[in-house]
A and B are shown apart, each in its own frame.
Chain A
Amino acid sequence: MPGRYRESPLKKPSRAYIALGLEGSANKLGAGVIKHDVDGSMEVLSNVRHTYITPPGEGFLPRDTAQHHREWALTVIKDAVAKANITMHDLDCICYTKGPGMGAPLQSVALVARTLSLLYEKPLVGVNHCVGHIEMGRQVTGAQNPVVLYVSGGNTQVIAYSRQCYRIFGETLDIAVGNCLDRFARVINLSNDPSPGYNIEQEAKKGKRLVPLPYTTKGMDVSLSGILTSIEAYTSDRRYRPQGEPFEESEDIITPADLCFSLQETVFSMLVEITERAMAHIGSKEVLIVGGVGCNERLQEMMGIMAQERNGLVFATDERFCIDNGIMIAQAGLLSYRMGFHTLLAKSTCTQRFRTDEVHVAWRP
Chain B
Amino acid sequence: MSPTQQLLQSADLISQGAEAAIYKAYLRQLPTSGQAKNVGSDSPCHEVLEPVLLKYRFHKRYRHPSLDTSLTRQRIAGESRALMRCMKSGVNVPGIRMVDVNEGVLGIEWIEGKSVRQLLPGGAELEDIDELEEMDEVEDTDATDALVEYGVSRDALMDMIGVEIAKMHSSDVIHGDLTTSNMMLKEKTRDLILIDFGLAYYSTLVEDKAVDLYVLERAFASTHPDSEPLFSGVLAAYEKRMGKNWVPIKRRLDDVRLRGRKRSMVG
Contact = CB atoms under 8 A, between A and B. Distances in A.
B61 interface: yes
B19 to A, nearest CB: 8
A142 B139 CA distance: 39
Contacts of B265: 100, 155, 171, 353-356
B62 A272 contact: yes
B40 interface: no
A281 B176 contact: no
A101 B267 contact: yes
A281 B222 CA distance: 14
Contact of A154 (B63, B70, B266): B266
Given A102-B267, A154-B266, A352-B267, A280 B67 contact: no
Contact of A265 (B67, B130, B177): B67
Nearest to B267: A154
Contacts of A100: 265-267
Interface in B232-267: 261-267
Given A219-B177, A272-B62, A302-B62, A279 B264 contact: no
Given A155-B267, A219-B199, A355-B265, A276 B18 contact: yes
B92 to A, nearest CB: 24
A276 B17 CA distance: 10
A176 B19 CA distance: 24
A173 B1 CA distance: 43
A189 interface: no
Contacts of A279: 18
A282 B18 contact: no
B128 interface: yes
Contact of A352 (B64, B199, B266): B266
Contacts of B70: 212
A272 B60 CA distance: 10
Contact of A303 (B62, B63, B71, B176): B62
A269 interface: yes
B133 interface: yes
Contacts of B149: none
A221 B133 CA distance: 23
Contacts of A272: 62-63
A51 interface: no
Interface in B187-224: 199
B45 interface: no
A309 B61 contact: yes
A180 to B, nearest CB: 13
A277 interface: yes
Interface residues of A, number: 45
B2 interface: no
B132 interface: yes
B210 to A, nearest CB: 16
A361 interface: no
B62 A1 contact: no
Given A154-B266, A265-B67, A355-B265, A282 B62 contact: no
A159 to B, nearest CB: 12
Contact of B67 (A163, A210, A277, A283): A210
A41 interface: no
B66 interface: yes
Interface in B165-202: 176-177, 199
Contact of B132 (A163, A352, A355): A163
Nearest to B215: A219
Contacts of B137: none
Given A269-B62, A306-B62, A355 B264 contact: yes
A196 to B, nearest CB: 16
Contacts of A163: 132
Interface in B15-35: 17-19
B64 A173 contact: no
Contact of A176 (B62, B66, B261, B267): B267
A269 B64 CA distance: 8
A160 interface: yes
B199 A160 contact: no
B132 A160 contact: yes
A350 B131 CA distance: 34
Interface in A251-276: 265-266, 269, 272-273, 276
A176 B267 CA distance: 9
B266 A269 contact: no
A154 B266 CA distance: 7
Contacts of B267: 26, 100-102, 153-155, 176, 179, 352
A310 to B, nearest CB: 8
A86 interface: no
A162 interface: yes
A210 B264 contact: no
Interface of B: 17-19, 60-64, 66-67, 70-71, 128, 130-133, 176-177, 199, 261-267
9 contacts: A1-B133, A154-B267, A162-B132, A265-B67, A280-B17, A283-B130, A303-B62, A353-B265, A355-B261
Top 4 nearest A-B pairs by Cβ distance?
A154-B267, A280-B18, A302-B62, A305-B62
